[in-house]
Chains A and B, each alone.
Chain A
């Protein structure tokens, strides 16, 4: 019988997470050093760091919920590890569920058969491992391509980058509408998105009228948390109508 919450599993998780923290600290140190060399405004960078930290909390809690959900079947350490490095909530759950079903198991029960657990662990690891390999192999070439576009025509280069951003944002805005055909409850994500957009617009207006630059720094965390908070009364209201 395999104990997915054993000290051994926690030790493995601690080693990998410590490594990734060390990597983050090293990259942070190098980037801050370079920012100083470039003469960038370190006060503004400090503000950007605080704003990023605040913004990160809500998505991180959502990742924690993913850890809790997967912990019922795989214990705490392994989902904690998978969702702290490489993985993403959407991927890890479906990879674990697919591997479990191949073994005739289900994620609704604790996995205690070592054969099932090691198969799930291998599938979750190998299924997601390619992205960093691609970055090592092709990252420099992709950057070179962007530099070439910029060198040829810098204005078009900037527009090209905006096109990339907007392509990503439009795909995730589109997916918010995926459930609208199911009825009024399917519109809840759309209403939440609109609420978040309105909060962002209010932040923009306040920044201009109150001349408060700090609002810009915190506008994204404010609109994210505001949108999430408003999803509660929005959901209640929509449910009262159906």
Chain B
């Protein structure tokens, strides 16, 4: 029975990989066609030297972060969640917490098929709601702009990530505080000593994961988990 379910899971995941790749390739084509269309419309194309200089200033770091995010987030988001999450973007501040929270509330593991399904649902809902909020915001801009950009509201949006990860940390750290302690202390000391690393936090996610996994391995081998 279990073997049969594993086979079905495999087939379902294969199907998701298949249609996930098709959707992603079409999406990538559309994304590239946007600047192409602007160039055709204006009759102006970027000069190769300018484009290269511009890319050199962002690509090395963002392509590296992109590769690291794929390695880190694919196991968390599952097959469908990954294809959709990486196309719709805003992973760290929105899609990953949405998926983790939904899986936690549903009591399913990230690498199970149930987890895969819940993660995909959460990311899809999050992507749709984000689009609706931004569209509504742009349409009602005249009315809401004074409120959103008011000095009074500034701290709320400046502190979105601390407010998000404070709550999320309670859920996950309390489940596994023995594993969490070492990477948390390491990261706090690191950022206090080298604040300029704040802009490269994406690169440090796998460092935190490696520390957590190494500590977990030692504790596991000593039967302390």
Which A residues fall within an 8 A CB radius of B?
A: 2, 8-9, 12, 15-17, 19-21, 23-28, 30-32, 34-35, 38, 40, 44-45, 47-49, 51-53, 55-65, 67-68, 76, 80-81, 83-91, 94-95, 98-99, 101-103, 114-115, 117-123, 125-136, 138-140, 142-143, 146-147, 150, 155-182, 188-190, 192-197, 199-201, 204, 216-217, 219-220, 223-229, 231-232, 234-235
* With A127-B58, A166-B183: A25-B50 Cβ-Cβ less than 8 Å: no
Q: List chain B residues, Cβ under 8 A from A127.
A: 55, 58-59, 62-63
Given contacts A55-B98, A102-B53, A162-B176, 8 further A-B contacts (CB under 8 A): A16-B34, A114-B42, A114-B44, A139-B83, A193-B165, A196-B165, A197-B167, A224-B163
- In the assembled complex, the Cα of A115 lies from the Cα of B39 at a distance in Å of 9
Q: Determine if A178 and B192 form an interchain contact, defined as CB atoms under 8 angstroms apart.
A: yes
Interface of A, secondary structure class, is helix
Q: Determine if B166 and A135 form an interchain contact, defined as CB atoms under 8 angstroms apart.
A: no
B interface residues, tally (CB under 8 Å)? 150
Interface of B, secondary structure class, is helix
Q: State how many angstroms separate the Cβ of B84 from the closest Cβ of chain A.
A: 5
Q: Determine if B70 and A138 form an interchain contact, defined as CB atoms under 8 angstroms apart.
A: yes
Count chain B CB atoms within 10 A of each CB in A47, A51, A55, A87 and give the residue with the most: A55
Q: Determine if B157 and A102 form an interchain contact, defined as CB atoms under 8 angstroms apart.
A: no
Question: Shortest 7 CB-CB distances between A and B: which pairs?
Answer: A174-B187, A167-B209, A227-B163, A223-B167, A196-B166, A167-B208, A28-B124
Q: Determine if A165 and B172 form an interchain contact, defined as CB atoms under 8 angstroms apart.
A: yes
* With A102-B54, A122-B46, A200-B166: A60-B134 Cβ-Cβ less than 8 Å: yes
Q: State how many angstroms separate the Cβ of B166 from the closest Cβ of chain A.
A: 3
Q: List chain B residues, Cβ under 8 A from A147.
A: 111
Q: Determine if B42 and A87 form an interchain contact, defined as CB atoms under 8 angstroms apart.
A: no
Q: Determine if A24 and B134 form an interchain contact, defined as CB atoms under 8 angstroms apart.
A: no
